[in-house]
Chains A and B, each alone.
Chain A
Amino acid sequence: MSPSLPLAIEFLKTHQNPDGGWGYEPGRMSLVEPSAFSLLAIHSSGDKTGTAGGLDFLRSCQKGTGAIGIGPKDADGSWMSYAALLAFHELGAGAEEQRLKDWVLNFDDASGRFTKEEISIVASRYRYDASIPGWSWTPRTTAWVEPTALFVLALRAIGVPATEERVRSGVDLILDRRVPSGGWNFGNPYSKSFELEASTMSTALALAALGAAGVAESRPAVRSGLGFLEAALGGDISTASLAWALLALKSFPSGAPRVAGATARLARLQMKDGSLRGNIFETALSYLVLNDAPILYPVRGGKR
């Protein structure tokens, strides 16, 4: 561990809001994703300061359906539920975890709403299969690569087997949406005759999810995705993308040679106040990835 890494925890503790949650940046409104990751980071450090209040904040965001929105006032569930699922699991909020898990596993994306004709149009225009269930950013809309990857990661992390139907379907969606020349973007491999470009964050998340689900790196999608990621690491890369990329590299044996370099690079981004970019979520995520926090590294199994 980098000697200055514990400062990240101090940064997080310092910037907990009075309502128990955290915003993406100090002094900003509490939201589920930065709150859940701050809780995970503080908890993984062995410190319990503020975790009860943080957990109460997450509980206040849970609806009767079990869903979690982006904040306490949301009427509906959202993609940020993935982060709350991890936090409930890791901090032992079993009842809340179970209710949320049920909601996530029964998530209502748009795949079941498309007609055969619509699915056919999507297949010809964007070249993916819109009938595959995955996860969308908000319920009842189209499933995309990143939210699907985040939920696959979270479900695997809390012990849902890779063979579980919804997880398998999520993996299928990710594989189906890959960009032919390597990597992933938000979820459209093509637009008519144009192959669309992959992006680093989408690719890192997709690979991390596939790794968590036990997809072999011999699969062409994984191989070409890792190739895209390695090329991306050769250039400028954002803090969050680097953190997710490091998680992805650690998820496959062939990523190992790049791990040390990416680790050092991410650690170097830490600022004097302990944060990365002054961003609470990125600080917590980086802390967890750099520390190999078990919650982000599910037990492998259920090879596909």
Chain B
Amino acid sequence: MSRRGVTRREFIRLAGTSALTVWPAAALAGARPQAIKKTDAGPLLQVALVPCPDYGPETLAAAIRTGWRSSRAPDVRGKRVVIKPNMVDVSPDRPIHTDPRLIEALVLHIGDLGAREIILAEGTSHNRDAEDLFRRSGYEALAKRRGIRLVDLNYDDITPVKCANPKATLLREIALPETIATAEVIISVPKMKTHKLAGITLSLKNMFGILPGMAYGWPKNVLHWNGIPLSICEINATVKTHFSVVDGIVGMEGHGPVMGTARKVGVLVMGDNALAVDATAARIMGVEPARVEYLAMAQRIRIGSLRSDDIGISGGTVERVRTDFVLDPEYAQLRASRGLR
């Protein structure tokens, strides 16, 4: 099933223009929960690149422990933690959604660290039948097994939040689910996938799913009309993702995020800055992050950094695990050349 509808942005792009609505970085001063500042001590950001060849529980537990230790993970003790997986749809044939075994390993790890409450929350984008999707994805069984709450963000209570972008139009006031608004730690756990509208989808794009469908529709069409890159940046500049874990054990290439094919990489990418994590994951996929429109925009508004020089990588090198994903021909220009940083 497709993940998108028809978008104004797409029309603009197909028409051969590159007009893009951007707000000045200075306009966000004091209102960027994810903003970073350069320091002189060590790399600005830290990302863990953790080999993880399969979804076996022991393999996952060890990988998460390793990545957590080496990537400036948040303190979850006594906190209400919301885990946001990626579940645009579910298919027995294609790895569309974040694997529940990874989510379960993460739940166990966070529980061991003393989190007060763990919530698994998703607002599916196209198919609004969450009862069905939660069941078929394995998330419902996981939630029952581990005694955690499973929340359909599409129908959650809403708290209006002012967008960090003072020039925002369609998202001037964001209808934020109460579960997200009251979270003390938000962990984004996307699948490593190509995306036929955005090029690739990782942690930042995953946050589309926090906006409730009852206010933004299925697909979240208001976000499409607002422009996908701009929406991604407005959401992430307004709502902080405290930690990201990219499921790159088996990703999706080709006509993602739904109709693509499985691509094994065997890696988890973890870190506290979603943009740095996404940039690193993009490089692993053979994509030059600066060419991905929304990543470049996120860099411009300083919700993180995609520059290699700013990102310290623990656990290995990108080149060692680089697995060039088949890209949609429309996004062929995203391909990084070998050795490109």
| B129/A240 in contact, CB under 8 A | yes
For window 108-139 of A, CB contacts with B under 8 Å fall at: 110, 114-115, 117-118, 121-122, 126, 130, 136-138
Q: Interface majority SS on A: helix, strand, loop or mixed?
A: loop
Residues of chain A with a CB closer than 8 A to B160's CB: 73
Please measure, in the bound complex, the distance between the C-alpha atom of A199 and the C-alpha atom of B127, giving whole angstroms. Answer: 7
B155, B215, B217: the one contacting A136 at CB < 8 Å is B217
Residues of chain B with a CB closer than 8 A to A118's CB: 6, 11
| B5/A200 in contact, CB under 8 A | no
Q: How far is the CB of A293 from chain B (nearest CB, A)?
A: 22
Q: How far is the CB of A36 from chain B (nearest CB, A)?
A: 14
Residues of chain B with a CB closer than 8 A to A144's CB: 5, 217-218, 221
Residues of chain A with a CB closer than 8 A to B4's CB: 188, 191
Residues of chain B with a CB closer than 8 A to A146's CB: 128, 218
Name which of A70, A71, A137, A138 has the most chain B CB atoms within 10 A of its CB. Answer: A137
Q: B319 in the interface, Cβ–Cβ < 8 Å?
A: no
Please measure, in the bound complex, the distance between the C-alpha atom of A277 and the C-alpha atom of B130, giving whole angstroms. Answer: 13
Please measure, in the bound complex, the distance between the C-alpha atom of A277 and the C-alpha atom of B15, giving whole angstroms. Answer: 48
Please measure, in the bound complex, the distance between the C-alpha atom of A236 and the C-alpha atom of B259, giving whole angstroms. Answer: 23
Q: A271 in the interface, Cβ–Cβ < 8 Å?
A: no
Residues of chain B with a CB closer than 8 A to A136's CB: 217, 221
| Interface size, A (range) | 35 or more
Please measure, in the bound complex, the distance between the C-alpha atom of A237 and the C-alpha atom of B14, giving whole angstroms. Answer: 39
Q: B112 in the interface, Cβ–Cβ < 8 Å?
A: no
Q: A24 in the interface, Cβ–Cβ < 8 Å?
A: yes
Please measure, in the bound complex, the distance between the C-alpha atom of A67 and the C-alpha atom of B170, giving whole angstroms. Answer: 19
Residues of chain B with a CB closer than 8 A to A197's CB: 1, 91
Q: How far is the CB of A92 from chain B (nearest CB, A)?
A: 27
Given known contacts A28-B157, A29-B158, A142-B221, is B126 in contact with A185 (CB within 8 Å)?
A: yes
Residues of chain A with a CB closer than 8 A to B128's CB: 146, 201
Query: Which chain A residue has the least Cβ–Cβ distance from B329?
Result: A192
Q: A23 in the interface, Cβ–Cβ < 8 Å?
A: yes
Q: How far is the CB of B168 from chain A (nearest CB, A)?
A: 15
For window 185-243 of A, CB contacts with B under 8 Å fall at: 185-188, 190-192, 194, 196-197, 199-202, 236-241
Residues of chain A with a CB closer than 8 A to B225's CB: 110, 140-142
Residues of chain A with a CB closer than 8 A to B157's CB: 23, 28-29
Q: B2 in the interface, Cβ–Cβ < 8 Å?
A: yes
Q: How far is the CB of A202 from chain B (nearest CB, A)?
A: 8
Residues of chain B with a CB closer than 8 A to A28's CB: 157
Please measure, in the bound complex, the distance between the C-alpha atom of A22 and the C-alpha atom of B158, giving whole angstroms. Answer: 14
Q: B271 in the interface, Cβ–Cβ < 8 Å?
A: no
| A196/B1 in contact, CB under 8 A | yes
Query: Which chain B residue has the least Cβ–Cβ distance from A69?
Result: B215
| A241/B11 in contact, CB under 8 A | no
Q: How far is the CB of A79 from chain B (nearest CB, A)?
A: 7
| A141/B222 in contact, CB under 8 A | yes
Q: B84 in the interface, Cβ–Cβ < 8 Å?
A: no
Number of interface residues of B (CB under 8 A): 37
Given known contacts A121-B11, A144-B5, is B222 in contact with A238 (CB within 8 Å)?
A: no
Residues of chain B with a CB closer than 8 A to A31's CB: 214
Name which of A71, A199, A241 has the most chain B CB atoms within 10 A of its CB. Answer: A199
| B259/A122 in contact, CB under 8 A | no
Residues of chain A with a CB closer than 8 A to B1's CB: 185-186, 188, 196-197, 199
Given known contacts A79-B217, A196-B259, is B5 in contact with A142 (CB within 8 Å)?
A: yes
For window 208-222 of B, CB contacts with A under 8 Å fall at: 213-219, 221-222
Given known contacts A70-B214, A194-B259, is B132 in contact with A241 (CB within 8 Å)?
A: yes
Please measure, in the bound complex, the distance between the C-alpha atom of A118 and the C-alpha atom of B259, giving whole angstroms. Answer: 23
Contact with B along A225-269 (1 / 0, CB 8 A): 000000000001111110000000000000000000000000000
Name which of B1, B4, B135, B224 has the most chain A CB atoms within 10 A of its CB. Answer: B1
Q: How far is the CB of B163 from chain A (nearest CB, A)?
A: 15
Given known contacts A136-B217, A144-B221, A196-B259, is B5 in contact with A187 (CB within 8 Å)?
A: yes
Please measure, in the bound complex, the distance between the C-alpha atom of A138 and the C-alpha atom of B224, giving whole angstroms. Answer: 12
Query: Which chain B residue has the least Cβ–Cβ distance from A115?
Result: B11
B91, B135, B155, B222: the one contacting A138 at CB < 8 Å is B222
| B214/A191 in contact, CB under 8 A | no
Please measure, in the bound complex, the distance between the C-alpha atom of A147 and the C-alpha atom of B5, giving whole angstroms. Answer: 14
Q: How far is the CB of B133 from chain A (nearest CB, A)?
A: 9
Q: How far is the CB of A280 from chain B (nearest CB, A)?
A: 11
Q: B40 in the interface, Cβ–Cβ < 8 Å?
A: no
Further contacts, 6 of them, CB under 8 A, given A138-B221, A141-B224, A241-B132: A118-B11, A126-B6, A185-B127, A186-B218, A236-B132, A240-B131
Name 22 interchain pairs, CB-CB below 8 A, sorted by A: A29-B157, A70-B214, A78-B215, A80-B214, A115-B11, A121-B14, A137-B216, A137-B221, A138-B215, A141-B221, A142-B5, A186-B127, A188-B4, A188-B5, A191-B259, A199-B127, A201-B132, A236-B136, A240-B129, A241-B131, A241-B132, A277-B131
**What are the 3 tightest A-B residue pairs by CB atom distance, in nearest-first order?**
A137-B217, A238-B131, A191-B2
Write the residues of chain B forming the contact surface with A, with a CB cutoff of 8 angstroms.
Answer: 1-2, 4-6, 10-11, 14-15, 91, 126-129, 131-132, 135-136, 155, 157-158, 160, 196, 213-219, 221-222, 224-225, 255, 258-259
Write the residues of chain A forming the contact surface with B, with a CB cutoff of 8 angstroms.
Answer: 23-24, 28-29, 31, 33, 70-71, 73, 78-80, 110, 114-115, 117-118, 121-122, 126, 130, 136-138, 140-142, 144, 146-147, 185-188, 190-192, 194, 196-197, 199-202, 236-241, 277
